[in-house]
Structure formats: C-alpha cells, structure tokens
Amino acid sequence: MRTLTSNEMKFWQGYLSSLPAATRPRHPHVEAALPGNREVADELINLYLTGKKTAGSSLVKDFEINNEPLPTVGNYWIVLYKKNKPCCIVKTVRVVFHRFKDIPKSIAKAEGEGDCSVAYWKKVHEELYAPYLEKWQINDLQNTEVVTEFFKVVHKLLK
C-alpha cells in the first residue's frame, strides 16, 4: 500500500472534519486509487456518484500476487479521477467470496455496469483478467475465487 499524497490526505482530512468528533474512525485503513483502469476510470466514477455502482470484485489471486490485504469491512478508499484527483471516498460495508462461475445476479447488479446481468459481468471480468491468467498461473478462471466488496459513498468532492 502506498502513502497518500498531500492532495489525497487533504481530501481525507476534509472528510474527517465533516464528521462529529465522536464518530470519526480512529485507525482506519485508507487507500487511494483509480477505479478499474485508466481507460474506464471516469466512466466508473460516474456510476459511483450516481449510486448505480455499490460493489466491486477482484480475483483473490490479485491480492495474493501483489501482497496486498483483502478488503475488510470498514476500509476506506479515496477514488481518483484518471488525472489522480480525488473524487469521492467510499467505505466498505460488506465483503463476500464466490467462485467466478458462481457470481450471483445480486453482485452483477450491484456492480452497476452494462446491463447488470451475470453474463455481462462475466464477459467484462474475463476480458479484464485474460492478460494476467498465465502470469498468475490460473488455468481455470471459472473455479477461481473472487472477492466482492460492497461499499457506500461517504464523501464527495464539492464542485
């Protein structure tokens, strides 16, 4: 996990100062990153800000390979525009695990992309992970474990 930049820290502090002192998180896990990749980041952000996207999924293997902790309820994420400017802060409210082949409609819908179908979810995620499967030694994507974190937007950039 990288250290927050000064702009990210200022955005985080702005969120904290908007909360009553008694409700401020004491030792939160806070990260900052683009959603998805640079090509789709701003499109995904629109889904966050409109409330259509309330979940995101990743392969557990991605966290293992990158030596990153798995999502945990109570984590915060400063969502960045593709120019690395803070946009909003989301808080993880639930974490679930499934095999890729067993992703339920509720997750596809919560991810808010395309037609929100499981077929669309699988197509997009198969394309997303295709370049990494050999490198990560994944021979059977369908049986690979997926972690999905559900989140809520708790702070937005005021324009």
Residue 80 lies in a domain: yes
Residue 90 lies in a domain: yes
Amino acid at 92: T
pLDDT in tens, 97-135: 999 999 999 999 999 999 999 999 999 999 999 999 999
Q: Is pLDDT above 70 for 48?
A: yes
pLDDT in tens, 20-37: 999 999 889 999 888 877
Residue 104 lies in a domain: yes
Cα–Cα distance between 76 and 2 in angstroms, integer? 14
Write out the residue range of the structural domain in which residue 119 sits. Answer: 6-19+27-156
The CATH number assigned to the domain holding 69 equals 3.10.400.10
pLDDT at 97: 99
Q: Is pLDDT above 90 for 158?
A: no
Which contiguous run of DSSP H or E holds residue 96?
strand 86-99
Both tokens assigned to 153? 């937007």
Residue 1 lies in a domain: no
Question: What's this model's pTM, rounded to 2 decimal places?
Answer: 0.90
Domain count for the chain, please give it. 1
pLDDT at 12: 95
Q: In what order do the strands lie in the sheet with 86-99?
A: 30-33, 76-80, 86-99, 145-156, 55-59
Q: Is pLDDT above 70 for 1?
A: no
